[in-house]
C-alpha cells in the first residue's frame, strides 16, 4: 500500500531567528513562528486531515502540531528529536568562529561528529529507527481500518529529521533536502 508522508518542519524559534544551533534544547516557537504557522495553515498549504500525525516530543514541534491540527490525536516519536549539536548547542556562527573544532566540522562539510554530540551517521540511524516505527504503526493502522484511496500521514519534526528521512528514502546528500521553518516536503512509501 502507498502512503504519502508530509514532513513538516516546526515553526521558527527565537534561536532559529538568531541562527543558533539548536538541537536538544527544548525551545518554544517565537511569536513570529506561531504567526507564520497559523498563516500557512490558513492558506491551506498543509494536508488538511491526515490519518495519523507523528510528532517529535519537543515544545517547538508540539506547538506547531497543535496550531496546524488542534485537538487531534498525536503519536509522539522520541527518535524524531533533532540532532545533538554537542558543544555547538545554542551557539551561532559568530560565537563559534575561530574555534578549531568548529572549523574542522565546517571543513568536513558537516560530516564530522559534533564535539560531545551526535554524528550525522548516528543521528540518521536514530531517525530511521523512528521511521521504521512509523511504518510499522501505519501498517497496523491501515490493516485495521477501512481501505481508502489516499493514505496521508503528517510528521511534525525538525529540519534535521526531514533531511535524514528524505536522504535515506529518496537518496541524495543530507543537506540537499534542507527546508525552511514551517514548510514541508513529501515522501511516498510502499509498505
Q: Which segments are annotated as binding site for substrate?
A: 9-16, 60
Residue 42 lies in a domain: yes
Residue 35 lies in a domain: yes
Question: Residue 147: which residues within 8 A CB-CB, separation 6 or more?
Answer: none
Residue 57 lies in a domain: yes
Residue 23 lies in a domain: yes
Give me the torsion for CA of 170, 175, 179, 185, rounded to 10°: 0
Structure pTM?
A: 0.95
Residue 93 lies in a domain: no
- Residue 148 confidence class, pLDDT cut points 50, 70, 90: low
Indicate if the pLDDT at residue 124 is higher than 70: yes
CA–CA gap between residue 14 and residue 102 (Å, rounded): 22
Percentage above 90 pLDDT, the chain: 94
Residue 111 lies in a domain: no
Residue 160: domain span: 2-83+119-190
How many domains is the chain built from?
1
Higher pLDDT, 191 or 63: 63
Residue 140 lies in a domain: yes
- Range with the poorest average pLDDT among 46-50, 143-147, 163-167, 168-172: 143-147
Q: Which segments are annotated as binding site?
A: 9-16, 60
Amino acid at each position: 500500500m502507498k502512503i504519502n508522508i508530509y514532513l513538516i518542519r516546526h515553526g521558527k524559534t527565537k534561536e532559529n531567528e538568531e541562527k543558533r544551533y539548536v538541537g536538544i534544547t527544548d525551545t518554544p516557537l517565537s511569536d513570529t513562528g506561531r504567526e507564520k504557522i497559523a498563516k500557512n495553515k490558513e492558506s491551506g498549504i498543509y494536508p488538511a486531515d491526515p490519518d495519523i500525525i507523528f510528532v517529535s516530543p519537543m515544545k517547538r514541534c508540539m506547538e506547531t502540531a497543535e496550531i496546524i491540527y488542534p485537538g487531534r490525536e498525536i503519536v509522539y516519536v522520541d527518535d524524531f528529536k533533532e540532532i545533538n549539536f554537542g558543544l555547538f548547542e545554542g551557539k551561532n556562527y559568530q560565537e563559534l568562529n575561530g574555534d578549531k573544532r568548529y572549523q574542522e566540522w565546517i571543513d568536513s562539510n558537516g560530516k564530522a561528529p559534533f564535539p560531545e554530540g551526535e554524528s550525522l551517521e548516528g543521528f540518521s540511524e536514530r531517525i530511521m529507527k523512528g521511521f521504521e516505527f512509523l511504518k510499522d504503526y501505519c501498517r497496523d493502522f491501515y490493516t485495521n481500518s477501512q481501505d481508502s484511496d489516499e493514505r496521508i500521514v503528517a510528521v511534525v519534526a525538525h529540519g534535521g529529521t526531514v533531511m535524514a528521512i528524505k536522504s535515506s528514502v529518496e537518496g541524495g546528500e543530507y543537506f540537499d533536502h534542507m527546508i525552511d521553518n514551517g514548510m514541508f516536503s513529501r515522501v511516498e512509501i510502499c509498505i
